[in-house]
């Protein structure tokens, strides 16, 4: 991630959510997502924070991103998000992005329980379902499962 990427990251973030969560979140929820809200989030990234975010580009245009949360001392790294536009999925870019962000170190992540494609992707990358399930109130009680590697 570089300074100046925020506008495109905001667009990709909203588009990826609208593509990924169809049928998991209501149409109204997805329609209410605003690029402006994501722009505020991405614009607040600092150069130090950029070191925990990576983008994947196609012909110089951002088509996906990955981000890590700062781990607590002694804790495994947590992947807070990996999103790739639908048009660029199943091309090996997601795996490359994940390897760039995490390498082969231990990590955890949360994935939507209904997102079978994402669960299969992460299992292929060495993650396993850990058994913890949470409902995310801000996301219409979307059920998420914790995966670890």
Provide the pLDDT for residue 83. 97
Tens digits of per-residue pLDDT, 55-98? 999 999 999 999 998 777 777 899 999 999 999 999 999 999 99
Provide the pLDDT for residue 70. 79
**Structural domains in the chain plus CATH codes:** 6-148 (3.40.630.30)
Q: What is the pTM of this model?
A: 0.92
Strand partners for 145: 111, 133
More confident residue, 59 or 51: 59
Helix (H, G, I), strand (E, B) or coil at 47: helix
Provide the pLDDT for residue 123. 98
Tens digits of per-residue pLDDT, 27-42? 999 999 999 999 998 9
pLDDT of 137 strictly over 90: yes
Which of 28, 109, 24 minimizes the C-alpha distance to 71?
109
Confidence of residue 48 (pLDDT cuts 50, 70, 90): confident
What whole-number distance in Å separates Cα of residue 41 and Cα of residue 37?
A: 7
Question: CA Rg, the chain, in Å?
Answer: 15
- What is the token pair recorded at 101? 């962000």
Tens digits of per-residue pLDDT, 101-133? 999 999 999 999 999 999 999 999 999 999 999
Strand partners for 29: none
Residues 6 or more apart in contact with residue 33 via CB below 8 angstroms: 14, 17, 18
- For residue 7, the surrounding DSSP H or E stretch is helix 6-20
What whole-number distance in Å separates Cα of residue 56 and Cα of residue 132?
A: 30
Provide the pLDDT for residue 2. 86
Provide the pLDDT for residue 6. 93
Tens digits of per-residue pLDDT, 57-68? 999 999 999 999
Reading phi first (left if > 0) and then psi (alpha if -120 to 50, else beta), residue 94 is in alpha
């Amino acid at each position: 991630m570089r300074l100046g990427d925020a506008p495109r990251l905001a667009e990709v973030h909203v588009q990826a959510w609208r593509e990924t969560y169809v049928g998991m979140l209501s149409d109204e929820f997805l329609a209410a997502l605003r690029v402006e809200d994501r722009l505020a989030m991405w614009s607040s990234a600092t150069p130090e924070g950029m070191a925990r975010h990576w983008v994947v580009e196609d012909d110089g245009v951002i088509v996906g991103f990955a981000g890590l949360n700062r781990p607590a001392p002694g804790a495994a790294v947590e992947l807070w998000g990996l999103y790739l536009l639908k048009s660029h999925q199943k091309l090996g870019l997601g795996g490359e992005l994940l390897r760039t962000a995490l390498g082969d170190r231990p990590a955890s992540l949360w994935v939507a329980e209904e997102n079978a494609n994402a669960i299969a992707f992460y299992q292929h990358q060495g993650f396993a379902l850990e058994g913890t399930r949470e409902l995310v109130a801000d996301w219409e009680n979307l059920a998420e499962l914790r995966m670890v590697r």
